[in-house]
Amino acid sequence: MRASRIVKEGIQSLGANKLRTFFMMAGTIVGIAALTVIMAMGKGTEQNVMKKVNSFGIKAIMVTAGGGKGFSPPQEGITTLKLEDLEAIRSQVQGIELLSPGVMKRGSSIKAGNAQAQATAFAVESDFYDAWEWQLTSGEPINAEDMSTMARTCNLGTTLSRTLFGSTDPVGEYIQIGATRFLVKGVLESRGTSPSGGDMDNRVLVPLTTGMRRLLNVDYISFIRVKVKDIKDLVPIGDEIRKILHERHHITPPQEDDFAIVTATDIAEAARGISGTLSILLIALAGLSLIVGGIVLMNILLISVNERVKEIGLRRALGATQSDIFMQFLAESLAITLLGMLFGCLVGWGASLLVGMYAKAPVIISWEPFALAVVFSLTVGLFFGIQPARRAARLKPVEALQ
């Protein structure tokens, strides 16, 4: 019996009982669809992580007041980081290109005419723009003169600018932060969301001296942005900064740090760790669906063998060998899983698009899930199809015909 004829007869047999065939395919469809969605979301998440890393800056180190592990936005009201710490780092650490300190206040009340908003106020130095690689779309940045004169000037983020002024360019207009009036000098380019998920464009920048003395009345800073000259020095410089702050803050193990040091690498590793753990769990669930589907497939094929005993006996009597019978049932098993794979890929592709459209989750459809789908389908079809095929092949012609 030729291979093409075996396959043809196997497919005809499946078509004779469509409902049973569907139930045998169901597990494979669910498993492959889940695998396709998981990998599409995984790819999208990875791309999103890289965007956040690039937004943070691959040559940047963030030193923030307050302890804790992992990346978190700078905290308010924590007084452990001072300008003296900044100067110590500047004078003692080699390989630093820029140091940019800042202090912040979330939920600042900001008004312009009849419009008002809640935004984060940042007091920064004039090197903020180079340290953060953040440029303006219009106007001028805060400069050294603004710092030295404690000028009441500011730059707006795009979200805040739209909220207060709509589509009008706000340069030259005045806003009020709390009870203090500020002249808008420029508008920052859009930066999107931060690594922690906040809107980086809903902010206002004022000179550090003005912010510390006139606006916030504080003698501490919230963070120090460090930009290194060479990316290979990122970790050594971070360790050196930690050592300096330990000495200045009189911290000795096992005392917890009263500051946090984070790099782009830390953000990427943390995000990938969370994403990787979730992906492993979901892939395990998809694998379980495939295994359950394979068990269902095997049991229904075993029932099919019992129902088709006379057919098998007749084929054997007409000259079909044990190998022919074995290959026919194995071909049916493979046909079911491959058809299930095809439908599963289509369902997964459609579900991925819906997730990206309505759940706003990042998804990227690539060739990898389809390649894995073929491998998994062939594996399930072969592994769970062997036992029914072997039982059918071992039936003796005379006993089968009886």
Measured N-to-C along each axis, helices 322-358 and 3-15 cross at an angle, to the nearest 10 degrees, of: 60
The phi and psi torsions of 114 (rounded to 5 degrees) equal: -90, -5
Crossing angle (nearest 10°) for helices 18-56 and 368-394? 150
What's the whole-number mean pLDDT along residues 329-337? 80
Is residue 116 within a helix (H) or strand (E), and if so which, with residue range? Answer: strand 115-124
Residue with tokens 């078509």: 15
The Cα–Cα gap between 229 and 315 comes to 78
Q: Is residue 120 pLDDT above 90, yes or no?
A: yes
* Mean pLDDT rounded to a whole number for the chain: 82
Least confidently predicted of 101-115, 127-141, 213-227, 311-325: 311-325
pTM for this entry = 0.63
Whole-angstrom distance, CA of residue 235 vs CA of residue 187: 34
pLDDT at 44: 75
pLDDT above 70 as % of the chain = 83
Instruction: Identify which of 127-136, 282-291, 347-356 has the greatest average pLDDT.
Output: 127-136
CA separation for the pair 53, 263 (Å, rounded):
9
Q: Which two tokens stand for residue 53?
A: 């890393």
Are the C-beta atoms of residues 97 and 125 closer than 8 Å to each other?
Answer: no
At which residue do the structure tokens 């943390």 appear?
A: 270
For 330: left if phi > 0, alpha if psi spans -120 to 50, otherwise beta; the answer is alpha
As a residue count, the chain comes to 402
> Is the C-alpha dihedral spanning 107, 74, 52, 140 positive or negative?
positive
Say what the pLDDT of residue 49 is.
67
Residue with tokens 């935004």: 119
Q: For residue 247, what are the contacts with CB-CB under 8 A and spacing of at least 6?
A: none
Two structure tokens written together for 329: 């049932």
In this structure, what token pair is assigned to residue 170?
């706000």
> Among 35-49, 63-77, 178-192, which is the least confidently predicted range?
63-77
Tell me the C-alpha to C-alpha distance, in Å, between residue 15 and each of 22, 303, 338. 10, 16, 15
Q: Is there a cis peptide before residue 195, judged by omega within 30 degrees of 0? A: no
- CB contact burial 119-138 (16+ within 10 A = b; e otherwise): bbbbbbbbbbbebbebebeb
Percent of the chain with pLDDT over 90: 33
pLDDT band with cut points at 50, 70 and 90 for residue 1: very low
Alpha helix segments (H runs only) across 57-182? 83-92, 128-131, 144-149, 158-165
Provide mean pLDDT across the span 12-17. 57
